[in-house]
């Protein structure tokens, strides 16, 4: 018997934030397993570069421009994708990140955190990073009675990390929304799960983890010290989780789960 549990050929997979480090790595993985991948984001240069990389590796991909914070922009993108490639059956929502003004400085005062910064982080991670994509692409998945939605939450959504309170709370909300949607759509053919990465150097957190000379920042060093595997993760180490959750045959009875990929960070206390 052919072992095709993880075969994604025939699937159309949209990776929102596929222009970034983790989203890009997951786009590579989905394409490697046969999906036709849509790298969706705002930066066409980075999107085109990712598409070239996927094609060079023998996969199929296109770039689609859209803003995850704008429902109309997402709906327009969805319609263009469905017309060009057919219905979307896999959605990875990987737009997100923290912002400097929402990070409490060392010795800083939680009471001084601005509402604008708080709202900005919630808008990016919860609204653009999960809610709107699930609404827009979920609608067509429900019509097809087939879909796998994978929200990129964070280990910070399970353990509130020091200083990045808004980001941690927003990611906790992403995990909660994932569980809500899983139950809501469980009998309608659409599975909804989350992946919670630990610490992976990317654009949005590089300055937090490294000094300018490339050595670990104080916080980067603390994180490594608390990670049983004693290192940061690399984007390709999310491949197994995303392909498994995307593959309808491999994870057909899995919904509402949060898969943690963090080198053991969340399993230990000091």
Ligand X SMILES: NC(=O)c1ccc[n+]([C@@H]2O[C@H](COP(=O)([O-])OP(=O)(O)OC[C@H]3O[C@@H](n4cnc5c(N)ncnc54)[C@H](O)[C@@H]3O)[C@@H](O)[C@H]2O)c1
Query: Which positions touch ligand X (CB under 6 A)?
Result: 16-17, 19-23, 41-43, 67-69, 94-97, 124, 128-129, 152, 154, 197, 199-200, 202-205
Chain position carrying tokens 């010290």:
225
Residue 152 contacts residue 194 (beta carbons within 8 Å):
yes
Q: Given 33, 167, 210, 216, which residue is catalytic?
A: 167
Kindly tell me which of 19 and 36 has the beta carbon lying closer to ligand X. Answer: 19
What minimum distance in Å lies between the beta carbon of 20 and ligand X? 2
- DSSP conformational letter for 216: B
Chain position carrying tokens 């017309």:
83
What minimum distance in Å lies between the beta carbon of 156 and ligand X? 7
The alpha-helical segments, DSSP class H, found in 145-234 are: 165-185, 206-209, 218-226
> Would you say how long the chain is, in residues?
270
What minimum distance in Å lies between the beta carbon of 128 and ligand X? 5
For residues 130 and 137, give the distance between their C-alpha atoms in angstroms, rounded to a whole number. Answer: 11
CB-closest chain residue to ligand X: 20
Kindly tell me which of 148 and 154 has the beta carbon lying closer to ligand X. Answer: 154
- 239: Cβ–Cβ under 8 A, 6 or more apart, which residues? 25, 26, 28, 29, 32
Kindly tell me which of 133 and 138 has the beta carbon lying closer to ligand X. Answer: 133
Known active-site residue 167:
yes
What minimum distance in Å lies between the beta carbon of 202 and ligand X? 3
Residue 255 contacts residue 244 (beta carbons within 8 Å):
no
Kindly tell me which of 182 and 242 has the beta carbon lying closer to ligand X. Answer: 242
What minimum distance in Å lies between the beta carbon of 201 and ligand X? 7
Residue 197's beta-bridge partner residues? 261
Q: What torsion do the CA atoms of 253, 255, 260, 261 make, to the nearest 10 degrees?
A: 60
Chain position carrying tokens 């991909």:
61
Kindly tell me which of 24 and 138 has the beta carbon lying closer to ligand X. Answer: 24
For residues 151 and 218, give the distance between their C-alpha atoms in angstroms, rounded to a whole number. Answer: 30
Question: So which residues are the catalytic ones?
Answer: 167
């Amino acid at each position: 018997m052919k072992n095709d549990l993880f075969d994604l050929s025939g699937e159309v997979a949209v990776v929102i934030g596929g222009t970034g480090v983790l989203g890009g790595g997951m786009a590579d993985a989905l394409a490697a397993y046969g999906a036709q991948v849509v790298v969706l984001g705002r930066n066409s240069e980075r999107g085109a570069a990712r598409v070239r990389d996927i094609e060079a590796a023998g996969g199929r991909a296109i770039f689609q421009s859209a803003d995850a914070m704008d429902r109309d922009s997402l709906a327009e993108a969805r319609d263009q994708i469905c017309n060009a490639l057919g219905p979307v059956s896999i959605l990875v929502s990987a737009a997100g990140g923290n912002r400097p003004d929402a990070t409490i400085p060392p010795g800083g005062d939680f009471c001084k955190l601005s509402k604008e910064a708080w709202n900005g982080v919630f808008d990016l991670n919860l609204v653009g990073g999960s809610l709107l994509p699930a609404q827009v692409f979920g609608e067509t998945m429900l019509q097809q009675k087939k879909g796998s939605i994978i929200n990129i939450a964070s280990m910070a959504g399970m353990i509130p990390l020091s200083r990045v309170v808004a980001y941690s709370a927003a990611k906790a909300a992403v995990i909660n929304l994932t569980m809500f949607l899983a139950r809501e759509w469980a009998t309608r053919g659409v599975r909804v799960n989350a992946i919670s990465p630990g610490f992976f150097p990317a654009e949005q957190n590089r300055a937090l983890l490294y000094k300018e000379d490339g050595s670990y920042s104080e916080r980067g060093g603390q994180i490594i010290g608390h990670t049983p595997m004693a290192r940061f993760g690399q984007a390709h180490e999310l491949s197994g989780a995303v392909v498994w959750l995307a593959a309808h045959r491999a994870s057909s009875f899995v919904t509402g789960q949060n898969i943690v990929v963090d080198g053991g960070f969340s399993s230990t206390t000091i």
